[in-house]
Structure formats: C-alpha cells, structure tokens
Amino acid sequence: MKSLLLHPTKWKDYSLVDSGDGKKLERFGDLLFIRPEPQALWSPRLPLKEWEKSSGAFLASSDTLNDDTTGKWSLKKNLPLKWEMKYDNIKFFATPTPFRHLGFFPDQSPHWLWASKKIESFINIHDKNYSPKVLNLFGYSGLASLHAASHGASVTHIDASKKAINFAFENRNLSSFQHLPIKFITDDAIKFVKREIRRENKYDGIILDPPKYGRGPNGEIWDFFNDLPTLLKLITQILTPKPIFIILNSYAIRSSHLALHFALNEIMRGFAGKVESGELSIVEDQENPRQINTAIFARWEK
C-alpha cells in the first residue's frame, strides 16, 4: 500500500515562508503570522528581522503546545479584523481565530481539487443536467463546499457551530455564489445522518473533517475515537448505489493514516472502488524546502 504525501499547490495568497525553533512563519495574503509548530525541530533559515515583520503571533500555553484551544493571539493594532483571500475560483475571509488558525486550512486544498475533478468527470460521463449530491460534514467555514458547488455539485453543508455556518455564509457571499445549490445547516453530524437515513436521502460524495473533540448545537458530545466508527457505519446508508468519492480527514489525533485507511476500507467493501491514504503537509516556499505534516487522511473513489 502506497502512502500519499499531499501539499498545497497553485496558491498565491498563502505560503509557508520559514519554520524552526518550534514555530512557523506563514503568509496569508500580504500579512505574515507566527504560529506554534512543535514539529519544527530545526532552526529558522531567515534572519530574525524577517520574522519581526509579522502582523501577529499565537502564544500557546507553555505546557500544552499541542492543544489548539489553549493560548492567545498577540496582534498588531492596525491589523484588520478580516481580509479577503482567493484560491482557484473561490474567495473567502482570513481572520485570526481563538483556535490558532485563520479561518481556513490551505493544506486541504488538494482534496478540493481532487473532488472537483471527480465531480466534473461524473457529470461529463453520466448526465450534464444532473448535479451530484455532496454532503460536507463538519464543514466549518465552507471552502470545500464552495469549491465543490462551483464545479457542479449540489452541496449540503453541516456544522454544529452557528458561528461557523455564518462564516460560511460570508464566504459564499464574498464569492458571489448565492446562486449555487448549497444548503447550510446547523446540526449535529450523527443526528443529521440518522435523519437522512429515515428520509431516504442519498449522496454521491461525502466529505468528513471531524475534530478530536467537539460539541453539537444542543450540547451533544463528539469524541473522535468513540464516535467516528458509528458515523462511518451510518454514512454507508446514505450513499447512492454508485457513489463518486468519500474524503475522511483528521487533525490533532495521535494516530496513523492507516487507521483511517482500514476503517474506510471496511465500510466501503460493498462498493466497487479503492481507498488511498496518507498525510497532508505544508512546504516551505524556499530552496531545499522542509515539509511539515498537518493532518492524516483516507479517501475512497469509484
């Protein structure tokens, strides 16, 4: 079994500028930010004066560098609350969040491109008047949903956070995609899928990016290792007879992509297709670049 190592490409508005000493220096649009990166065991290559040009730094609690929820931003006073960015044909806002990221994950863009090719190929081969139905669970700020819809899919976007759904609305409007078939729903992922089973609704593609821990809109508790197996078994019941793809992505868990690979492979045994898996990463924008793992994934395709 071959392991894939994917990284962002075709980005003009994002780059990993430098890394080292447990930190990374990234460019989001025209602005630089410093964030903790425990995997950067090496030394920075750029001089300190380049790092000092940053507009902000996330200061993690010293004893919990791996906890995305612990810490705070130190930002320059003249920093805008949010600013516009673009990738491929979608526009979206970047903004420093309490969870150390900036409202989106550029390392996931290889999945967006891969899914869009699957969607377009399906439409060209089968029915140019049919929009494949894609379900994006844990959809957050909506970039995967916007990209899929802009390439021909009819998307149902689910997130437990009303704030995240509002963020996705903003990104949709910024992209002028109000005309595209995207439904934004605030709901618990497992409860929503169970209702879709009862309603006999089916999907051609599913995107999952579950957190390690989370809470639903009514206080439901999500625990990755306890709840993901249940969710995976449920989603097979809302797939069309000949689905196109499933993407399963995970951050911040102590596991290998092999765990996702074999879990996805097991539930899809009844469908003709294959599973591939590996890691997402970001690569320095310099000569002889170093590479930092960001997430693990598995994906199934027909």
Tens digit of pLDDT for each residue in 183-216?
A: 999 999 999 999 999 999 999 999 999 999 898 8
Given 41, 65, 81, the domain boundary residue is 81
Q: Average pLDDT of 138-157?
A: 98
> What is the structure's pLDDT at 62?
61
Q: Is residue 269 part of a domain?
A: yes
Together in a domain, 197 and 234 = yes
> What is the structure's pLDDT at 65?
46
User: What tens digit of pLDDT does each residue of 274-302 get?
Assistant: 999 999 999 999 999 999 999 999 999 99
Percent of the chain with pLDDT over 90: 88
Together in a domain, 28 and 117 = no
Together in a domain, 153 and 266 = yes
Q: Average pLDDT of 220-228?
A: 92
Together in a domain, 193 and 254 = yes
Together in a domain, 47 and 120 = no
pTM for this one? 0.94
Q: Is residue 129 part of a domain?
A: yes
CA dist., res. 43 & res. 19, Å (int)? 7
CA dist., res. 14 & res. 31, Å (int)? 9
What range does the domain containing 243 cover?
A: 106-301
Residue environment code for 67-91, b if the CB has 16+ CB neighbours within 10 A, otherwise e: ebeebebeeeeeeeebeebebbebb
Q: Average pLDDT of 105-119?
A: 98
Phi, psi of 224 (to 5 degrees): -50, -55
Q: Is residue 270 part of a domain?
A: yes
Together in a domain, 147 and 45 = no
CA dist., res. 140 & res. 99, Å (int)? 13
> What is the structure's pLDDT at 129?
85
Together in a domain, 138 and 200 = yes
Together in a domain, 59 and 184 = no
Q: Is residue 26 part of a domain?
A: yes
Together in a domain, 77 and 110 = no
Percent of the chain with pLDDT over 70: 97
Given 65, 81, 97, the domain boundary residue is 81
CA dist., res. 23 & res. 52, Å (int)? 13
CATH of the domain at 61: 2.60.40.1180
CA dist., res. 244 & res. 241, Å (int)? 10
Given 45, 66, 81, the domain boundary residue is 81
Question: Is residue 271 very low, low, confident or very high in pLDDT (cuts 50, 70, 90)?
Answer: very high
Instruction: Say which range, 57-66, 97-106, 149-158, 165-174, has the weakest mean pLDDT.
Output: 57-66
Average pLDDT value over all residues in the chain: 94
Together in a domain, 292 and 170 = yes
Q: Average pLDDT of 117-137?
A: 93
Q: Is residue 90 part of a domain?
A: no
> What is the structure's pLDDT at 252?
66
Together in a domain, 156 and 54 = no
Q: Is residue 294 part of a domain?
A: yes
For the chain, how many structural domains are there in total? 2
Together in a domain, 43 and 150 = no
Residue 138 has pLDDT above 70, yes or no: yes
CATH of the domain at 192: 3.40.50.150
Residue 53 has pLDDT above 60, yes or no: yes
Residues whose CB falls within 8 Å of the CB of residue 239, separated by 6 or more in sequence, listed in order:
202, 203, 204, 206, 271
Q: Is residue 97 part of a domain?
A: no
Residue 109 has pLDDT above 50, yes or no: yes
Q: Is residue 275 part of a domain?
A: yes
